[in-house]
Structure 1
Amino acid sequence: MTEYLVIDLDTERWVCRVCGRDIWSAHGNYKLGCLVYDRDPREIHQPIINPDRYEFTFSPDPTYCRILEFYCPGCATQIETEYVPPGHPPTADLVIDVAALRTQWEERGVDPEQVHNYGPGEDAQKYTAMHKATGHIR
């Protein structure tokens, strides 16, 4: 589903591609099962001009913006980052119809991990080789 997330269709759960950790129900927002680091945006986007002299420094105001970083609770791989107002709940960026996904793969008659297993490390090499062989990439 992403570079670091896969849906296990047998258990209908979000799973970390790196360590295999079960994160959350695939019927819900995977971010709710992640470790979250609520960052002050000034740590990432440092002021361009002197904050002692100027009210607006081109750095996001932490009273209006927070950076949420989402990490796998098993291996601490960073899965996602989002900018939200302070106190805002994590956004749902992936909403998957798990039943329809299961049906698609059953109709194809192949294991989705055998066909589209790409991600960190050797998986990326396998993905690239497969798509070069089929002409999807050059």
Structure 2
Amino acid sequence: MHANMTEYLRINLDTEMWECRSCNNELVSAHDNYKRGLLVHDRPPHEIHPHLLDPKKYEYTFSPDPTYTAILEFYCPHCGTMVEVEYTVPGHAPVYDMQPDIEDLKKKVAAWGDVPEKPEIPDIEIERHVHNH
């Protein structure tokens, strides 16, 4: 049984592991912060928010100051899918943003049934009208 948690993350409720939804790779225990199973890139803020003023001439350039702003990008170590981006302060531990109740999820998924990764969309016939003038 699986519980989809985000666009790129799910929990395998049988193994109680976080998994990448893009490549099905197991990441880390679902009782832990999923970010511990991902690769982290500490992106320089000016790469995302370029300087609007010349930093050689101006102290404030409208780009976040890297002394106060860190942008952490989290990637699946197997397929390279970007799973999460986090704005934080330099040196701060990654935020623990999801702590699911595994036992409750097991009960709910058992009642609802597994959600397919790619739901089947029924074919809909569209009637087309061509107007000749």
Aligned sequence identity (%): 50
How is 1:29-68 mapped onto 2 (pairs within 5 angstroms)?
Answer: 29-68=33-72
**Could you list the per-position Cα deviations for residues 88-137 of structure 1 after superposition, in whole angstroms to 9, with x for gaps in the alignment?**
1110121211111001122x162x234xx3xxxxx2xx26x38xxxxxxx
- Structure 1: 5+ residue stretches without partners: 118-122, 131-138
Give the TM-score taking structure 2 as reference length.
Answer: 0.83
Q: Which amino acid aligns with 1:113?
A: V
Aligned Cα root-mean-square deviation (Å): 1.7
Structure with greater Cα Rg:
2
1:85 pairs with 2:97: no
Q: CA separation in 2, counterparts of 1:56 and 1:93?
A: 32
> What TM-score results when the alignment is normalised by the length of structure 1?
0.80
104, 112, 115: which one pairs with 1:113? 115
Match of 1:18 in 2: 22
Aligned length: 119
| Structure 1 residue aligned with 2:107 | 103
Q: Name segments (4+ residues, structure 1) moved above 2 Å.
A: none
Aligned to 2:10: 6
CA distance in 2, matches of 1:72, 1:109: 28
Alpha-carbon distance in structure 2 between the residues aligned to 1:51 and 1:109: 55
* Unpaired runs of at least 5, structure 2: 123-133
Tell me the secondary structure at the aligned position of residue 113 of structure 1. Answer: coil
> Any idea what the Cα deviations from partners look like across 1:61-113, whole Å, max 9, x if unmatched?
0011111000001111000000111111110121211111001122x162x23
Greater fraction of residues in helix:
1
C-alpha distance in structure 2 between counterparts of 1:44 and 1:38, whole Å = 12
